A and B are shown apart, each in its own frame.
Chain A
């Protein structure tokens, strides 16, 4: 916990689990959960490099901005997903393949 490698290990693990979720999931909301894991992994890296580079707080600002972006992204993505469900009656990303009904 006192060297940066352990944090990099955790964040790359989280990133790859999120990537796995994005690749394999069919439900759009489950894909969204994978994206949240990826954003969290990036955020751990920002804050870790901020600590190990003399605690200069720049990484904390970036982490804050990433959290705000994640909130905005989740709200818009869920609005889009609910619209897709109303129009096509499915939110599986491989079935909702028509552009126009």
Chain B
């Protein structure tokens, strides 16, 4: 049963990701990106990462996707919902990414990974919180500083010169 659910989510993720890169309507691509991000959150749930799955939905779906749709709306002269654009060099891009996929998949599956089993934890929030304030305190502080810098930088850039 879980197997069927897992592969359904995987197929949904990959097919909507293909829709994102192949569709010529930008708004449809953004909506397909929504399904991809939800599918990735479902895969995180299968990987016992409940906190990451929640953050994925909060930040990606609630933040980044809204930003992307805002960007589409602000950079087109809107006559209708159908904002289309053509792709270029699809043959070359397809060949390159297909062979890169073959190479990547063979390399990843042939490699002897150090796999060790684990029991399913009750929750990961406590462990992540402890790690963030002990072992990973410096990256945590640096990333908060970077977020502040990005916030100020984006505000200054989009304010325009006046």
Chain A 71-101 interface mask (CB, 8 Å, partner B; 1/0): 1111110111111011000011010000000
Determine if B21 and A37 form an interchain contact, defined as CB atoms under 8 angstroms apart: yes
**Interface assignment of B78: CB less than 8 Å from any CB of chain A:** no
- How many residue pairs link A and B with beta carbons under 8 A? The number is 231
Most chain B CB within a 10 A radius of its CB, from A6, A47, A65, A83: A47
Number of contacting residues on B, CB 8 A?
A: 85
Bound-state Cα–Cα, A37 to B20, Å:
9
Given contact pairs A26-B87, A55-B120, A61-B136, enumerate 4 new A-B contacts (beta carbons under 8 Å).
A5-B108, A26-B86, A37-B20, A78-B67
* B interface residues (Cβ-Cβ under 8 A, vs A): 2-3, 6-7, 10, 13-14, 17-18, 20-21, 26, 29-30, 33, 36-37, 40, 43-44, 46-49, 51-52, 55-56, 59-60, 63-64, 67-68, 70-72, 74-75, 85-90, 92-94, 96-98, 100-101, 104-105, 108-109, 113-121, 124, 127-128, 131-132, 136, 139, 143, 146-147, 149-151, 153-155, 157-158, 160
